[in-house]
Chains A and B, each alone.
Chain A
């Protein structure tokens, strides 16, 4: 690991101030589960590390209110996954966290850091590969013609097909969450759907966070669909593995007809992925094998594969069908 300076921030203002001097070469450290891993791999090379764990005093609580759920960015994954109100009223959130990583990592990783986790693309993580536009802009992409079984089929570009690996972000984008942010130009909030970027021609830019900005929390609006929700994750092994395909679904069903559907897809796209097309198919009708299949076809209509991941669109469709049928059958 390369050398860096280490400092602790007492609060958000202190963190923003500390980062301002060298914003481009500074990283905030919270749980550290992504940052330290990638620093050991020499993929991330910050010169200054600001430890922001003490911000948990400001942004470390979970509040379940009438208007929705407020999750501090410094809540650890395990604490949100085990929270009774989250499990009861927002099961898709609790499940997306509980099915991710391991118990140790969930005790360490914060919710804010979780949504910023980096791709697991081998060509990004292994610096012996010469061509990675995300790690080394303009160098090319070794994954397009390489080992790409786990790579994205939605939202990719010629420059990058790396999969966004997270689960929690799928629950947040499905439920129309907003993210609270602080930075050099003060506090702001952004629709979670506008936080992450598709790779396009600049895959090194993964979010709309400006240098020196950090996430303080997430607000998830209440709605009649949040209780009838779940996260279904399909992977190579039963536990402690990233998704090959996953679905976050939330349904408001009245008298057998869908009033509102909220659908996001994990493991198949370059960024957290909301499937509005699938939602539109379901609206107004029943949820059954036929309608769920039509919704799934719509969700993957734009899929582009690269050989080893040719199986992913069908796996993704079947995952979504199963998730929808299970959600419709929930007793809420």
Chain B
């Protein structure tokens, strides 16, 4: 089935089986492997991307049904390669160990700040609860969100 998918500012013409999830289309057809497949059932958050500026789970989204532009971890950095403040904060705060959940954590965290749900540590924990971290880097992830929020507000 032919359709157009806009990802990180580029429009792609694809022809895929309607069963293809956005996650599989990104990874298998567009070679954007930064978005990770964890549970593939909407329970872990590793596949989090932005569609139309909102964080969603790409594993429970049909690629053919996507109407709005998609942003993945590969699309967060600036054109000159400068890291997004949230990416920099995850490095500064050592907010990961194995790194597998990190792209989803970062996409979710960017949205968490943008939504205005990063007002306190407790609020950050609540609104980041859809992103599981098997290494349990949670305290550092909260610190990274706090740092990036401050950096974003200054900018």
Contacts and interface: CB of A to CB of B under 8 A. Distances in A.
B129 interface: yes
Contacts of A40: 40-41
A105 B112 contact: no
B19 A4 contact: yes
A104 B19 contact: no
B60 A108 contact: yes
Instruction: Report, as a range, how many residues of chain A touch the other chain.
Output: 20 to 34
Contacts of A288: none
Nearest to B126: A239
Most buried by A among B19, B40, B61: B19
A32 B21 CA distance: 11
Contacts of B56: 104, 107-108
Most buried by A among B1, B42, B61, B115: B42
A44 interface: no
Instruction: Report, as a range, how many residues of chain B touch the other chain.
Output: 20 to 34
A105 B128 CA distance: 12
Given A40-B40, A40-B41, A103-B112, A108 B57 contact: yes
B106 interface: no
Contacts, number: 77
A1 interface: yes
A170 interface: no
A35 to B, nearest CB: 9
Given A105-B130, A107-B55, A53 B61 contact: no
B65 A240 contact: no
B18 interface: yes
B16 to A, nearest CB: 10
Given A102-B129, A104-B55, 9 more contacts: A3-B17, A3-B19, A37-B41, A40-B40, A49-B18, A51-B62, A101-B130, A104-B48, A239-B125
Interface of A: 1, 3-6, 8, 29, 32-33, 36-37, 40-41, 49, 51, 53, 78, 101-105, 107-108, 239-240
23 contacts: A6-B1, A6-B18, A6-B64, A29-B65, A32-B60, A33-B42, A33-B60, A37-B41, A37-B60, A40-B40, A49-B18, A53-B65, A102-B129, A102-B130, A103-B55, A104-B42, A104-B57, A104-B108, A107-B55, A108-B56, A108-B61, A239-B125, A239-B126
